Amino acid sequence: MEAINRSAIVVKPAQPFLDWLHRVDPTSAQLTLDDLSLEPTIYLLPECQGKEEAIECLREVCTEIFEEQLDGWYRVPSTWPAERDLHAFLIWFEWSLHSMIIDLGDDPIEHEDI
**Would you give per-residue pLDDT tens digits along the chain (114 residues)?**
899 999 999 999 999 999 999 999 999 999 999 999 999 999 999 999 999 999 999 999 999 999 999 999 999 999 999 999 999 999 999 999 999 999 999 898 899 988
Of 8, 17, 15, the C-alpha closest to 98 is 8
Q: Output the pLDDT for position 84.
A: 98
Q: Where are the domains of the chain?
A: 2-103
The proportion of the chain whose per-residue pLDDT surpasses 90, expressed as a percent, equals 91
**DSSP secondary structure code for residue 15 in this structure:** H
**DSSP secondary structure code for residue 102 in this structure:** E
* pLDDT tens sequence across 58-78: 999 999 999 999 999 999 999
Of 75, 74, 92, 72, the C-alpha closest to 83 is 92
Q: Phi then psi for 51, rounded to 5 degrees?
A: -65, -40
Of 3, 99, 114, 88, the C-alpha closest to 48 is 99
Q: Output the pLDDT for position 1.
A: 87
Q: How far is CA 94 from the centre of its chain?
A: 8
Determine if residue 17 is left, alpha or beta; phi over 0 gives left, psi from -120 to 50 gives alpha, anything else beta: alpha
